[in-house]
Amino acid sequence: MGLTIAQKIIRAHLVEGDMTPGSEIALRIDQTLTQDATGTMAYLEFEAMGIDRVRTERSVAYIDHNTLQSGFENADDHRYIQSVCRKHGIYFSRPGNGICHQVHLERFGIPGKTLIGSDSHTPTGGGIGMLAFGAGGLDVAVAMGGGAYYITMPRMIRVNLTGRLHPFVTAKDVSLEILRILSVKGGVGSIIEWGGEGVATLSVPERATITNMGTELGATTSIFPSDEVTRAFLRAEGRESDYAPLASDPDAVYDRVIEIDLSSLKPLIACPHMPDNVVTVESLKGTKVDQVCIGSCTNSSLLDLLKVAALLKGKTVSPQVSVSVSPGSRQVLTMLSDCGALSDILASGARLLECACGPCIGMGFSPNSGGVSLRTFNRNFEGRSGTADAKVYLVSPETAVAAALTGEITDPTLLGEMPSIRLPERFRIDDSAVLSPAPAEEAKSLEVLRGPNIKKFPESRPQEDTLSAELVLKVGDNITTDHIMPAGAKILPYRSNIPYLSRFCFGVCDQTFPERAQAAGQSIVVGGMNYGQGSSREHAALVPLYLGVRAVIAKSFARIHAANLINAGIMPLTFRNPADYDRLNQGDRLTLRDVWQGMETGEMTLLDETTGERIPLTCAFTARQRDMLRAGGLLAYTKANGN
């Protein structure tokens, strides 16, 4: 029986376990990346391990999230990360150099290599044929120290592409179509492999858009083959020597096969407040638009912005619409400037923002109150834009331009003829904003620079055999990490200050939660389906840990968040019968006995001391995860046992 692309890379990097779906495997990691919103904590964790130098082939720290320096906090964190990088063997991408996923694709991604990053959209690397995973910062820290990355062996889903996209229909529409088919839960436990004759019609930036959005499916990762299109992209980046062909075997077996005819797709749009709430753009025609944002790690490539510039050339954006454009990297911005496309964008009335994440994480350019914002981003969770009552839609750059020009949601095919866009055969290469680490001997004498905003890693506690705690919060389905630990310009600067962050935990759901949780001492949270979807931010586990949360009971969990909870020493437990969710009430006193035995057998019984109800729970901890929970989390486990 043949192998899929992902299975081939897994087999080449397997250090523990076997490739039976559902079993735990450990992978050797070639590359890591961090960004500054999660990086400070990841590097504090790495330092706590006492390892002098990273042991990966390449580790890169990017400054792309917290670039708004309205106080000392972000600047101090950037300085801290830069000093850690220089001392410990990590490359440092300076503020303004670009978004981690775009820059990594351009300058460091290598087909067939493994990559984990402390950002959930790290699977963007699958567009170039990498096996790339989003992970918690602690997992990244362990990998930098030479440790393996542990995951459950995924199932394999194949998406066969046929035909060719029509003008004004884009890779973003392909992403929205697969979200419409599978939903935000449909990829859980699976790797999405893209294939078929239609793949050859998609450039690497277009493929990267699709693998980026695969995160919203809940997928473990997504991957494209490495072919002549990949070789051409690497040649343009001056890195053709990194090329390696990768394809699935003709007799590879998949758990599910999905067929998409590219020529049948129309422009699509995701409505508030979920990426899978997908309809045709045409069905919403005439909806008034207040704001348009073009950029993010999903749609900020040179190809995307050359199309935007061509469509805006000689035109003026509607006076009712505020428009921003954020190039994904300094390379993209420089090439736009060199060819004159940047002038076309600026002359239209659009505002140029920094080469950074910006509005995607609520870091500036928030919509007006109650505003309709069309964004070329990957998430439209409620409040994520920085405006609580905004209505955020996800669209392609072409659909964004159509709305910017007309002031309302407009099918972009009505704009006329699509200008012909060709990527240059050679990109402008300038790596001067990527700083190399110091040589090992020199690094020994270097100091790590810490500002007053950097606080200690929260102390975890080993799980005891009996847990008795109050149910301090009960929430519904599709609770995201933005619900648990919000982003935004007011909060992100404190990502290295867990005590301060704790004031905002679950603030979107219940502003009284932090005070009640601290008063309870130790507590339990109950959630619905797909609990913890969205960003990989481990703060959504570390802050509840600081506030005393000992277990989360839900109908189901998103993969990365469940792993982050275990890393923090918090038990993720699942209702055996999802209907039992309705039998629990906020404020009830809950007890779990024989916890250690339950972790072994995979079954526990929850006693609701308030009502007398007994509710069966399930769990699926590996031997390693059980040991981690008994130790008090991954950091304590690693210190005690090594990597």
Q: What is the pLDDT of residues 122-155, one digit of tens each?
A: 999 999 999 999 998 999 999 999 999 999 999 9
Query: 398 and 517 share a domain?
Result: no
Question: Domain total for the chain?
Answer: 3
**Could you report the per-residue pLDDT of 572-597, keeping only the tens digit for each?**
999 999 999 999 999 999 999 999 99
Query: 135 and 228 share a domain?
Result: yes
Rounded to 10 degrees, what is the CA torsion of 47, 135, 568, 63?
50
Q: How far apart are CA 124 and CA 131, in angstroms?
A: 10
Give me the mean pLDDT over the 91-113 stretch: 98
**Could you report the per-residue pLDDT of 262-300, keeping only the tens digit for each?**
999 999 999 999 999 999 999 999 999 999 999 999 999
Owning domain of residue 58: 5-264
Average pLDDT, the chain: 95
Query: 281 and 258 share a domain?
Result: no
Tell me, what CATH number does 535's domain have?
A: 3.20.19.10
Closest by CA position to 166, among listed 189, 192, 195, 198: 198
Residue 189 binned pLDDT confidence (cut-offs 50, 70, 90): very high
Do 614 and 593 contact (CB within 8 A), yes or no? no
Query: 333 and 256 share a domain?
Result: no
Checking DSSP bridges between strand 322-325 and strand 351-352, what pairing results, if any?
Answer: parallel
Distance of CA 264 to the CA centre of its chain: 29
Query: 106 and 122 share a domain?
Result: yes
pLDDT reported for residue 290: 98
Phi and psi (nearest 5°) for 398? -65, -45
Query: 403 and 499 share a domain?
Result: no
Query: 190 and 296 share a domain?
Result: no
HEC readout, 179-191: HHHHCCCCCECEE
Query: 216 and 284 share a domain?
Result: no
**Could you report the per-residue pLDDT of 345-388, keeping only the tens digit for each?**
999 999 999 999 999 988 889 999 999 999 999 999 888 888 99
User: Can you state the percent helix, strand and coil of the chain, rounding each to 5?
Assistant: 35, 20, 45
The pLDDT of residue 643 is above 70: no
Kindly state whether residue 445 falls inside one of the protein's structural domains: no
Residue 642 binned pLDDT confidence (cut-offs 50, 70, 90): low
Kindly state whether residue 433 falls inside one of the protein's structural domains: no
pLDDT reported for residue 456: 78
Kindly state whether residue 451 falls inside one of the protein's structural domains: no
Query: 134 and 226 share a domain?
Result: yes
Kindly state whether residue 452 falls inside one of the protein's structural domains: no
Kindly state whether residue 442 falls inside one of the protein's structural domains: no
Query: 77 and 161 share a domain?
Result: yes
Query: 399 and 473 share a domain?
Result: no
Alpha-carbon Rg for the chain in angstroms: 24
Tell me, what CATH number does 189's domain have?
A: 3.30.499.10
CB neighbour list of residue 587: distance below 8 Å, 6 or more residues apart: 470, 471, 472, 610
Coil/strand/helix, residue 618: strand
Q: Global pTM?
A: 0.91
HEC readout, 311-325: HHCCCCCCCCCEEEE
Closest by CA position to 303, among listed 160, 126, 102: 102
The order of strands in the sheet holding 372-375 is: 278-280, 268-270, 391-394, 372-375, 291-294, 322-325, 351-352
Residue 1 binned pLDDT confidence (cut-offs 50, 70, 90): confident
**Could you report the per-residue pLDDT of 511-555, keeping only the tens digit for each?**
999 999 999 999 999 999 999 998 878 999 999 999 999 999 999
Q: How far apart are CA 474 and CA 464, in angstroms?
A: 23
Do 481 and 534 contact (CB within 8 A), yes or no? yes
Distance of CA 148 to the CA centre of its chain: 20
